[in-house]
Amino acid sequence: MDAGTEGVTVTSGAVQTAVQGAQENMSGVWLSRYEFFSSSRDATYEGKHYVVIVQHGSRLTAQSLPGASSNPDSPLTLELTLDRNVVTGVWTEQTASDGYYQGARYHGALQLLVEPTGRRMAGKWVGFGKDFDVNTGPWELRLMDRSMSKATLERYSNAPE
């Protein structure tokens, strides 16, 4: 084997390890964090939710835990598909009826890359704003706990800091 072939083998091994890490079960409690620009307030804000991801094959579904939103009473749902280390899908957030967005329902698309450790996903969201403009911003999910026991879910049923 020459040096060139050996280098290819190492690279292939690294790629294979990254793919295997992303194919592990992604179920658990995750911290979801996204940023958005509010044109009416001329400022950038972030939304945080503790979500429970459940994986069935290549399909991931996520739902925020009760009381686990930085914007009280604004539940978040995600419907995602995992293809090796790429996660693609849709998001929906129902804003609080007594909050700034007065119960508006926002939704859009999301694409994330899974890090080789399988403990973080990061990418971008896209969606329509209230003025019928197309918005985008960063979105990340960080694994908090693989357990989905009652005690774990209760521990994360509060607003993220």
CATH architecture of 3-155: Beta Barrel (2.40)
pLDDT for 91 equals 97
Count the Cβ atoms, other than its own, within 10 Å of residue 50: 25
Q: How far is CA 151 from CA 97, 125, 156, 157, in A?
A: 29, 31, 9, 10
- Single pTM value for the model: 0.82
Q: What is the pLDDT of residues 80-138, one digit of tens each?
A: 999 999 999 999 999 887 777 777 888 999 999 999 999 999 999 999 887 788 999 99
Specify the pLDDT at position 11: 40
Give the mean model confidence (pLDDT) for residues 63-74: 91
Question: What is the total residue count of the chain?
Answer: 161
**CA dist., res. 125 & res. 89, Å (int):** 10
